[in-house]
C-alpha cells in the first residue's frame, strides 16, 4: 500500500520526532466514528459474549468439566471436527481446481460459473439443507442412483460432510483466485526456459505462491464448518453419539432448560472459534508479506 496517510508523513521538525509525538489527525470525525464503533461493537458483540463467559463462572470446575466432556458431547466434537476437516480438505482440492479453471482457461459460460461460486454465501443455510437432503435421500435425483449401489449419502455422517463441503466452497475459491490472477507468468516462462516440465513448474513455482492462500482458505472453510448448523441438521439424521454435531448439542441442552450445560459447551466452541480467527489473521498477514516480497 503506497497511499500515505497524513499521519505517516514526517513532520517538519525531523524524522526522529515522528515516532514519539502523537500523530495529528487532520480529517474530522475520528472521535465520533471510533466512539460509535466501539459503543456499537460493545453493545452487540462484546457485552453479550462476555455474558456467556461470566455465566460459566457460576459453574464449579467439576460441573463445567462434566458438561463439556460427557461421552455424548465428546462424540459430537469428534464428529464436528472430523467432518469439518474432511470437508475443508475436499474444498482445498476442488476449490483450487475451480479457481485454476476460472483464472487460466476461457470457456463458454465462465462468467455464470464464476458468479455461481458464491451461491453458498447467498443461499440461506436451511434452504441448502433441505435441497441437499431432497437430492441425496433415497427418492432424490442422486440418491436413487447411488442407493441401489449401497452408497447412502443422506441421514448419516456422509451427509454432514457433503453439507459442509457446500458451505465452505467459496472460501477456498475466493482466497486462491486473486493470488492466481496476480501470479506472474514470467516466473513460469523462466521455469520452462530452464527446462522444467509443466508439472515441475506447478509444483515448484506456482504451488509455493498460492500455498498461503490455500491454507487461509482451508482455515476459513474449517472455521465456518465447525459452527455450521442450518444446512447440516436436515441431512445429518441427528443420532446421538453418531451423527449429532456440537451446535445441535447446545440446542438440545437449551430445549431441556439446561442453560448451564449449553453455556459450557458454547464457551468451548467460542474459544475454538476465537483461536481459529487469530490463526486466520496470522495466515493472512503471512500471505500479504509473501505477496509483498515477491512483487
Partner 1 sequence: MSSTQTSRRTQAGTTEPAWVKWTLIALALSFIFLFLILPLAAVFTEALRKGFGAYLDALQEPDAWTAIRLTLITAAIAVPLNLVFGVAAAWAIAKFEFRGKAFLTTLVDLPFSVSPVVAGLVYVLLFGAHGWIGPWLQAHDIKIVFAVPGIVLATVFVTFPFIARELIPLMQAQGTEEEQAAMVLGANGWQIFWHVTLPNIKWGLVYGVILCNARAMGEFGAVSVVSGHIRGQTNTMPLHVEILYNEYQSVAAFAVASLLALLAVLTLLIKSAVEWQFERDQKAAALLPPENPGR
By CB under 8 A, the residues from 236 to 265 that bind partner 1 are 247, 250-251, 254, 257, 259, 262-263
Place of cell 448419516: 156
Selected range binding partner 1 among 12-20, 36-44, 69-77, 81-89, rule: CB under 8 A:
36-44
Among 119, 239, 241, 242, binds partner 1 (CB under 8 A): 119
DSSP character string of 47-92? HHHHHHHHHHHTS-HHHHHHHHSSHHHHHHHHHHHHHHHHHHHHHH
Residue 172 in contact with residue 97, Cβ under 8 Å? no
For the CB of residue 156, give the shortest distance to partner 1 in the complex, in Å: 18
Tell me which of 59, 86, 103, 131 binds partner 1, using CB under 8 A: 131
CB of 276 to partner 1, least distance (A): 6
Stretch that binds partner 1, among 67-75, 121-129, 144-152, 208-216 (CB under 8 A): 121-129
* Rounded distance between C-alpha atoms, residue 103 and residue 270, angstroms: 36
- Minimum CB–partner distance for residue 129 and partner 1 (Å): 8
Interface with partner 1 (CB under 8 A), residue total: 101
How large is the greatest C-alpha to C-alpha distance in the chain, in angstroms?
A: 81
Structure-derived torsion over alpha carbons of residues 274, 276, 282, 286, reported in degrees to the nearest 10: -160
Q: Which of residues 178-217 bind partner 1 (CB under 8 A)?
A: 185, 188-189, 192-193, 198
Residues 1-30 binding partner 1 (CB under 8 A) are: 1-8, 23, 25-30
115 sits near partner 1 (criterion: CB under 8 A): yes
> In whole angstroms, what is the distance from residue 229 CA to residue 96 CA?
26
Do residues 182 and 292 lie in contact, with contact meaning Cβ atoms separated by under 8 Å?
Answer: no
Measure the CA–CA gap between 268 and 65, rounded to whole angstroms.
Answer: 11
Residue list 138-167, contact with partner 1 (CB under 8 A): 140-142, 165-166
Residues 60-89 that bind partner 1 (CB under 8 A): none
Kindly indicate which of the ranges 11-19, 42-50, 61-69, 147-155 contains the residues binding partner 1, using the contact rule CB under 8 A. 42-50
**How many helical (H) and strand (E) elements, i.e. helices and strands, does the chain have?**
16, 0
How far apart, in whole angstroms, are the C-alpha atoms of residue 231 and residue 123?
10
CB-wise, 212 or 249, nearer to partner 1? 249
From 81-89, 130-138, 151-159, 236-244, span contacting partner 1 (CB under 8 A): 130-138
Amino acid at each position: 500500500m503506497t497511499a500515505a496517510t497524513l499521519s505517516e508523513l514526517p513532520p517538519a521538525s525531523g524524522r526522529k520526532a515522528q515516532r514519539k509525538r502523537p500523530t495529528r489527525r487532520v480529517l474530522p470525525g475520528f472521535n465520533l466514528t471510533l466512539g460509535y464503533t466501539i459503543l456499537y461493537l460493545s453493545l452487540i458483540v462484546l457485552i453479550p459474549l462476555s455474558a456467556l463467559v461470566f455465566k460459566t463462572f457460576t459453574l464449579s470446575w467439576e460441573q463445567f468439566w462434566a458438561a463439556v466432556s460427557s461421552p455424548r458431547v465428546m462424540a459430537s466434537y469428534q464428529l464436528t471436527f472430523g467432518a469439518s476437516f474432511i470437508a475443508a480438505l475436499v474444498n482445498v482440492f476442488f476449490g483450487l481446481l475451480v479457481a485454476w479453471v476460472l483464472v487460466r482457461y476461457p470457456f463458454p459460460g465462465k462468467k455464470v460459473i464464476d458468479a455461481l461460486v458464491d451461491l453458498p454465501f447467498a443461499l440461506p443455510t436451511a434452504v441448502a439443507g433441505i435441497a441437499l437432503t431432497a437430492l441425496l435421500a433415497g427418492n432424490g435425483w442422486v440418491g436413487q442412483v447411488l442407493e441401489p449401489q449401497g452408497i447412502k449419502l443422506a441421514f448419516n455422517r456422509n451427509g454432514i460432510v457433503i453439507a459442509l463441503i457446500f458451505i465452505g466452497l467459496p472460501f477456498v475459491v475466493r482466497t486462491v483466485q486473486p493470488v492466481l490472477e496476480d501470479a506472474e507468468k514470467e516466473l513460469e516462462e523462466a521455469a520452462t526456459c530452464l527446462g522444467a516440465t509443466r508439472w515441475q513448474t506447478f509444483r515448484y513455482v506456482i504451488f509455493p505462491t498460492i500455498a498461503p492462500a490455500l491454507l487461509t482458505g482451508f482455515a476459513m472453510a474449517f472455521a465456518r464448518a465447525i459452527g455450521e448448523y442450518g444446512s447440516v441438521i436436515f441431512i445429518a439424521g441427528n443420532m446421538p453419539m453418531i451423527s449429532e454435531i456440537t451446535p445441535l448439542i447446545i440446542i438440545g441442552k437449551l430445549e431441556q432448560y439446561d442453560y448451564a450445560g449449553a453455556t459450557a459447551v458454547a464457551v468451548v466452541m467460542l474459544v475454538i472459534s476465537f483461536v481459529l480467527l487469530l490463526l486466520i489473521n496470522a495466515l493472512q498477514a503471512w500471505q500479504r508479506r509473501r505477496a509483498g516480497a515477491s512483487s
